[in-house]
Amino acid sequence: MRIAIGSDHAGFVLKDELRVELLKWGHTVLDMGCAGTDAADYPDYAHLVAAALLDGRADRGLLVCSTGIGISMAANRHHGIRCALCHNCDSAYRARTHNDANVIAFGARYTTFLDARAMLQVFLGTHFSGEERHRRRIDHIESCAG
């Protein structure tokens, strides 16, 4: 799977640890930045990851900032992006099965590497359920998107 990843300075370390893990798992990683811990604006990297999914360069996305809130909000401004800020494996599972999320976000201040790795594994290994009630809700989200 091709995974586009991005973070701001606060999420850089966790993003980079997860980048290494994704490569170990055999995925192709498109690292959209940032490249270190110098101050960086999270919307820039959310937009780059969203663009990679929307133009077909990536199948899924991963975003990290200090809380995960801002970067997920920025990603969700893009029609066709459904970014889920996840806090545990159940939320990662439901983000895929119920919401067909194509991007997962983490808050580096609140998420350990081990927890993020476990959630990412669930997120990447879980398929959308395809149930009519979930499709209907996703269609409604998409119909209201900018």
Q: Which residues does the annotation mark as catalytic?
A: 65, 98
CA-CA distance, 75 to 70, in Å (whole number)?
A: 9
Alpha carbon 16 to its chain centroid, in Å, reads 14
CA-CA distance, 136 to 17, in Å (whole number)?
A: 36
Beta bridge partners of 42: none
CA-CA distance, 133 to 110, in Å (whole number)?
A: 32
Of 118, 20, 106, the residue nearest 61 (C-alpha): 106
